[in-house]
Amino acid sequence: MDRFSRIVLGYHGCTAEFAEAILRGELPLSQWQPSANPYDWLGRGIYFWEYAPERARAWGEGGVIGAVIQLGRCLDLTDLRYTDLLLPAYQAVKKAFRQGARKLPKNREKRRELDCLVINTLILGQPVGQQFQTVRCPFLEGRAAFPGSLILRESHVQLAVRDRACLLGVFRPGKTER
C-alpha cells in the first residue's frame, strides 16, 4: 500500500445485525466478505459511499458502518490516467467473448454487468503485487436538484474496497443534521 495515499471516510449500508457485529468486533474486518455480484458497478469489493452517511442509511437495511479507508493503489475513475485503461480492458473482454462465441453482457440501469466485467478484468490483469486495492468512481444518479439543473439529487462517489488492509478502522456514524 502506498503510505502516502489519501484517506477518506466511507459509509456502508447494511443490516443492523451486520453493523453491530462489525462494530462490536464480533466479526473481524478480515472476515467482511466483498460483494462479488456480476452486476456490481465497480467490480468485486466492499462498497462504500464516500462522505455520504445518509446515502448509506437510505440504501441499507437499518445499519450503517463508517470506515476510515486508505485508498492505497486506487483505480480512481475521476482521473484520465485510469479511465484510459478501460478501453484496452474492454477490447480484451470483447475479443475473448467473440472467440468463445458468447454474447457480451450489457449495462442496464443499476445492473452494470459490462462495467463490472471490464473492471474485474483490468484489475486481474495487473501484475501480482501491483493490483488496485480500491476502485473509486462518481455516479450521476437521481432526478434534477431543481428545474433545469444538471445536478442530480442522488449523485455520489462510490468506493469498492478490494483489499481489506485499506480499512484502517470502523466507527458508528452519528445522525447527521440538516
What predicted TM-score, i.e. pTM, was given to this entire model?
A: 0.92
Q: Reply yes or no on whether the pLDDT at 158 is more than 70.
A: yes
Block residue for cell numbers 457480451: 104
Paired residues of 11 in beta bridges: 49, 66
Report the distance separating Cα 16 and Cα 45, nearest Å: 20
Q: Is the pLDDT of residue 32 over 70?
A: yes
**Residue with the three cell numbers 456502508:** 12
Q: In the predicted model, is pLDDT for residue 3 greater than 80? A: no
- Name which of 18, 9, 27, 26 is nearest 64 in CA terms: 18
Q: Give first-to-last CA distance, the chain, whole Å.
A: 36
The DSSP element (H or E) to which 138 belongs, if any, is strand 134-139
Residue 168's alpha-carbon distances to 48, 67, 68, 118, 136, in angstroms, are 14, 7, 5, 28, 17
> What is the spatial distance between Cα 52 and Cα 57, in angstroms, rounded to a whole number?
9
Is residue 52 within 8 A of residue 159, CB to CB? The reply is no
Number of helices (H), then strands (E), belonging to the chain: the values are: 5, 9
Per-residue confidence at 174, pLDDT binned at 50, 70, 90?
A: confident
Predicted confidence (pLDDT) per residue in 70-109, tens digit: 999 999 999 999 999 999 999 999 999 999 999 999 999 8
Query: What whole-number percentage of the chain has pLDDT above 90?
Result: 89
Instruction: Indicate whether 1 pLDDT > 80.
Output: no
* CA nearest to 161, candidates 28, 11, 4: 11
pLDDT band per the 50, 70, 90 thresholds, residue 119: very high
Show contacts of 36-41: CB within 8 Å, 24+ apart.
37/116, 38/105, 38/113, 38/116, 38/117, 39/110, 39/111, 39/112, 39/113, 39/116, 40/112, 40/116, 40/160, 41/110, 41/112, 41/115, 41/116, 41/137, 41/139, 41/158, 41/160
